[in-house]
Amino acid sequence: MPQKVRIALDAMGGDFGPSVVVPGAAIALGRHPDAEFLLFGDSAAIEKELAAHPALRKAARVIHTDVAVAMHDKPSVALRRGRYKSSMWQAIEAVKKGEADVAVSAGNTGALMAMARFCLRTLPGIDRPAIAATWPTMRGDSVVLDLGATIGGDAHHLKALAVMGAAMASVLFDLERPTVGLLNIGVEEIKGGEEIREAAELLRAMDSRRFEFIGFVEGDGIGKGAADVIVSEGFSGNIALKAAEGTARQLSEYLRAAMSRTWRSKIGYLFARDAFKALKEKMDPNKSNGGVFLGLNGIVVKSHGGTSADGFAYAVDVGYDMVRYDLLTKINQTLNREAGALVSTPPAQEAVS
């Protein structure tokens, strides 16, 4: 029988805390019966939600904490006040102690990154972790990073992101040699800042057996699926993510308004209902929820703070898959083979989201 996947949850994280985290975990348990959960937070609030999910109650252990990190806390403040005592810290520490295989939180992104980096430390040669997530495209899914862990980065940092992103893509998509592109303002070699052009030169010089560097990718290339892995520094990556999420919501509102405008459009909707349902499912941000913190000595997954129970369940799914597919081992193997990526980079700034 396969070993259980032990998942530590920051039950107080996000906009809704246990009212979303607990039912989300219950949904994920239905998909992964071999999962076990450690729920950190206000035990009274957690137990109240668990009462409606008896199957999860049998597969979960509740650990009470008196402190919860607020969504508006600055990372430095959260680290100082919430260290050792908060639900967020204890979920991460469970991974460090080997009591859990992965930690999942919908809490404050900057605080989560600061605590994860402080508690778990980075992998050898990696100074700056990144947030990586799957991105739905016209030809399947791509891995995009960094989505907001740190601001800026030199050429060696972008090179390390490419190596880690390729490892994640090979795990998720079962690709022997995924394609990698650098997000830029144009595809021509003369376009972009000096650090991006230098990173491209470094990646071309690698001649890696683990991934294929295809050059620069413009913003519209992300949705087209121009590469299996799209690499960007965290500021640009986070803007791209938020712009895409906002555009998806905008299109949904436009479609809803258009379909209810006249009786003819309402009748047309009835005939095209299945097509609109498929479009809605494809654009559902919940299904892309769950960013992986790459570059740490442990697996931490960040869920959107305002997600639903379904969305949180998808974030748990991501964590489960990272454990089952042994992501850390794959990343370490890739980093060891591509030793040129292990170059120190300047200190990171605070997370941008």
* 133 DSSP assignment: E
Mean pLDDT of the chain: 86
Q: pLDDT at position 339, please? A: 55
Q: What is the mean pLDDT of residues 100-115?
A: 94
Same domain, 334 and 352: yes
Q: What is the mean pLDDT of residues 196-217?
A: 89
Query: Which of 50-64, 79-93, 184-198 reaches the highest mean pLDDT?
Result: 50-64
Same domain, 17 and 157: no
Query: Which of 19-28, 178-187, 260-269 reaches the highest mean pLDDT?
Result: 19-28
Same domain, 10 and 96: yes
Cα–Cα nearest to 212, from 153, 145, 165, 157: 165
Q: What is the mean pLDDT of residues 134-145?
A: 88
Amino acid identity of residue 241, one-letter, is L
Same domain, 216 and 250: yes
* pLDDT above 90: residue 49: yes
Judged by average pLDDT, the poorest of 59-68, 192-201, 236-245 is 236-245
The tens digit of pLDDT for each residue in 248-294 reads 777 777 777 777 777 777 676 666 666 656 656 665 666 678 899 99
Q: What is the mean pLDDT of residues 179-193?
A: 89
Q: pLDDT at position 284, please? A: 62
Same domain, 106 and 247: no
Any domain includes 297: no
Q: What is the rounded distance in angstroms from the CA atom of residue 165 to the CA atom of residue 145?
A: 7
Judged by average pLDDT, the poorest of 57-61, 302-306, 339-343 is 339-343
Amino acid identity of residue 249, one-letter, is R
Same domain, 144 and 182: yes
The tens digit of pLDDT for each residue in 208-241 reads 788 999 999 999 999 899 999 999 998 998 898 8
Task: Identify the residue with better confidence: 284 or 340.
Answer: 284
What phi and psi values does residue 108 have, to the nearest 5 degrees? -50, 120
Q: pLDDT at position 128, please? A: 84
Say if residues 90 and 298 touch (Cβ distance below 8 Å). no
Any domain includes 314: no
Residue with tokens 């490419």: 162
- pLDDT band (50, 70, 90) for residue 139: confident
Same domain, 144 and 201: yes
Q: What is the rounded distance in angstroms from the CA atom of residue 123 to the CA atom of residue 118?
A: 12
Domain residues for the domain of 106 are 1-120
Any domain includes 140: yes
**Which one of 120, 136, 162 terminates a domain?**
120
Could you tell me whether strands 102-105 and 299-302 are parallel, antiparallel, or unpaired per DSSP bridges? parallel
Say if residues 21 and 11 touch (Cβ distance below 8 Å). yes
Same domain, 192 and 87: no
Any domain includes 305: no
Task: Identify the residue with better confidence: 9 or 255.
Answer: 9
Q: What is the rounded distance in angstroms from the CA atom of residue 54 to the CA atom of residue 129?
A: 37
Q: What is the rounded distance in angstroms from the CA atom of residue 4 to the CA atom of residue 320?
A: 10
Same domain, 96 and 185: no
Cα–Cα nearest to 109, from 287, 284, 239, 292: 292
Any domain includes 291: no
- pLDDT band (50, 70, 90) for residue 313: very high
Q: pLDDT at position 352, please? A: 44
Same domain, 268 and 135: yes
**Which one of 68, 97, 120 terminates a domain?**
120
Judged by average pLDDT, the poorest of 13-22, 74-83, 112-121, 207-216 is 74-83
Number of domains forming the structure of the chain: 2
**What are the start-end ranges of the E strands in 82-165?**
102-105, 130-137, 140-145
Judged by average pLDDT, the poorest of 44-48, 56-60, 254-258 is 254-258
The 102-105 sheet, strands edge to edge: 60-64, 35-41, 5-10, 102-105, 299-302, 291-294, 130-137, 140-145, 229-231, 179-183, 212-217
Q: What is the mean pLDDT of residues 291-319?
A: 93
Report residue 347 as tokens. Answer: 């200190």
Q: What is the rounded distance in angstroms from the CA atom of residue 218 to the CA atom of residue 246?
A: 19
Q: State pTM to two decimals.
A: 0.84
Any domain includes 292: no
Same domain, 145 and 278: yes
* pLDDT above 70: residue 344: no
* pLDDT above 80: residue 44: yes
Q: pLDDT at position 346, please? A: 45
Any domain includes 319: no
Any domain includes 318: no
Judged by average pLDDT, the poorest of 45-49, 169-173, 206-210, 224-228 is 206-210
Q: What CATH number does residue 91 fall under? A: 3.40.718.10
Same domain, 160 and 195: yes
Residue with tokens 């490892």: 167
Task: Identify the residue with better confidence: 35 or 285.
Answer: 35
- What size, in residues, is the chain? 353
**Which one of 120, 151, 176 terminates a domain?**
120
Q: What is the mean pLDDT of residues 327-337?
A: 75
Q: What is the mean pLDDT of residues 144-170?
A: 89
Cα–Cα nearest to 304, from 284, 321, 322: 284
